[in-house]
């Protein structure tokens, strides 16, 4: 009889396996049979209230990792015990992850973290909060840059997990510089996109947008995404633009400001679910993608649009240039003239087959899953 140390117990403390558990144990114990490791994937509890790139990455890994030989499952904390898995993978730098990591460590469960983070002094000052808060945040950033040993919940989180999987080398360097994470505990796993975005039909979204060749600005509506500067930059150009996305809760006043800044050539379209064929159709129908955010890492919409060679106008902040090199144009988010000039130039370029080839061969979720699988091998060793 099998003796284990948890769950239902019979007389003398011996555990009685339920039929499904016994079947699973027998499969694992059978000679020559090797079960794929079970890894639980999780983001913050409110992730789907305003889903963005981090949530897309989480769901993509849940879909692609089983194809790479990993028994990856979205964690349902009220139904699944941590002890049923061999490892855990968290997405996003969230304070609530600390308690999860601590619980996993008590069970001896290794944890990987995709931090999805970027740190810059300007971001502290641009937050739509009182100046007292902004100045305090800027002071904390400067202190962190000067004294990376300063305690914080982020530092605790980054040092508590067993492996960090940033999306770029630039993000990895920030983890070392600002939090003294040992480089050997970091593996870069670039973001990806689905190949379906390479071969979509333009007509469905073109009917909705009133034609093709428009500027597409896709992303959650919030100050960091900088839709307001884009709309001000394009006023009076006569160029049709589509702003695609929902407002982040708490930033409704920012959406109102964007609507006031938009001229008659702008159409606001709410968020499209990521698996909606209309989203792929929007990339196929647009003349260029503009993303003039304060930073991107690198922006999943840029990868999705790049799948079909859509001309890209991207921010200098973040790691977009690490992904696309000379195959995109880069703008400063506060430079309205520069944004206008870059967008007008991109509209004249047409599709770039070199860009499409780069994204299709290097930045797919399947490739990201393979790199993540290799990272799990290090984690489980």
pLDDT at residue 17 is higher than 60: no
Q: What is the pLDDT of residues 115-163, one digit of tens each?
A: 998 887 777 666 667 778 778 877 887 887 888 888 899 999 999 999 9
* pLDDT > 50? residue 19: no
The predicted pLDDT at position 90 comes to 97
64 or 8, which is more confident?
Answer: 64
- pLDDT-derived band at 240 (thresholds 50, 70, 90) equals very high
- 215 and 355 share one domain: yes
Secondary structure element (H or E) that encloses residue 260, with its range? helix 252-261
**Same domain (yes/no): 56, 188:** yes
Question: Above 70 in pLDDT, residue 8?
Answer: no
In terms of domains, do 104 and 148 share one?
yes
pTM of the model: 0.83
pLDDT at 203 over 50: yes
Both 212 and 246 in one domain: the answer is: yes
Percentage of the chain surpassing pLDDT 90? 70
Count of domains for the chain: 2
Is residue 282 within 8 Å of residue 203, measured between CB atoms?
no
Percent helix, strand and coil across the chain, each rounded to 5? 50, 15, 40
Sign of CA dihedral 275, 287, 311, 226: negative
CATH code (residue 75): 3.40.50.2000
The whole-chain average pLDDT of the chain stands at: 87
Whether the per-residue pLDDT at 211 is higher than 50: the answer is yes
pLDDT greater than 90 at residue 42: yes
Q: What percent of the chain has pLDDT over 70?
A: 88
Shared domain check, 349 and 310 = yes
* pLDDT exceeds 80 at position 354: yes
| Host domain of residue 336 | 195-362
Pair 314, 325: CB distance under 8 Å: no
């Amino acid at each position: 009889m099998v003796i284990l140390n948890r769950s239902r117990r019979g007389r003398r403390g011996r555990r009685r396996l339920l039929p499904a558990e016994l079947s699973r144990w027998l499969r694992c114990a059978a000679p020559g049979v090797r079960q794929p490791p079970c890894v639980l994937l999780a983001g913050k509890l409110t992730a789907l209230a305003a889903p963005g790139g981090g949530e897309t990455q989480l769901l993509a890994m849940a879909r692609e990792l089983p194809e790479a030989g990993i028994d990856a499952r979205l964690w349902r904390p009220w139904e699944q015990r941590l002890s049923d898995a061999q490892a855990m993978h968290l997405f996003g730098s969230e304070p609530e992850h600390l308690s999860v990591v601590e619980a996993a460590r008590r069970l001896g469960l290794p944890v990987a973290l995709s931090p999805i983070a970027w740190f810059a002094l300007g971001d502290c000052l641009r937050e739509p909060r009182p100046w007292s808060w902004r100045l305090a945040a800027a002071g904390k950033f400067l202190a962190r840059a000067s004294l990376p040993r300063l305690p914080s919940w982020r530092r605790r989180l980054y040092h508590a997990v067993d492996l960090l999987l940033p999306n770029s080398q630039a993000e990895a360097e920030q983890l070392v510089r600002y939090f003294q994470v040992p480089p050997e505990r970091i593996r870069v796993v670039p973001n990806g996109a689905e190949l379906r975005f390479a071969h979509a039909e333009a007509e469905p979204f073109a009917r909705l947008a009133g034609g093709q060749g428009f500027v597409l600005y896709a992303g959650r509506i919030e100050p960091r995404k900088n839709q307001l500067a884009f709309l001000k930059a394009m006023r009076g150009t006569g160029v049709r633009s589509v702003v695609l996305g929902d407002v982040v809760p708490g930033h409704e006043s920012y959406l109102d400001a964007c609507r006031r800044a938009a001229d008659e050539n702008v159409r606001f379209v709410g968020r499209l679910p990521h698996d909606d064929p209309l989203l792929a159709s929007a990339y196929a129908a647009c003349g260029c993608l503009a993303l003039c955010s304060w930073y991107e890492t690198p922006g999943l919409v840029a990868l999705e649009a790049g799948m079909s060679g859509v001309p890209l106008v991207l921010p200098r902040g973040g790691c977009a240039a690490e992904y696309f090199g000379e195959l995109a144009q880069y703008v400063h988010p506060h430079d309205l003239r520069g944004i206008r000039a870059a967008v007008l130039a991109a509209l004249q370029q047409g599709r770039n087959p070199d860009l499409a080839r780069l994204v299709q061969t290097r930045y797919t979720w399947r490739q990201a899953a393979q790199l993540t699988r290799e990272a799990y091998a290090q984690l489980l060793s």
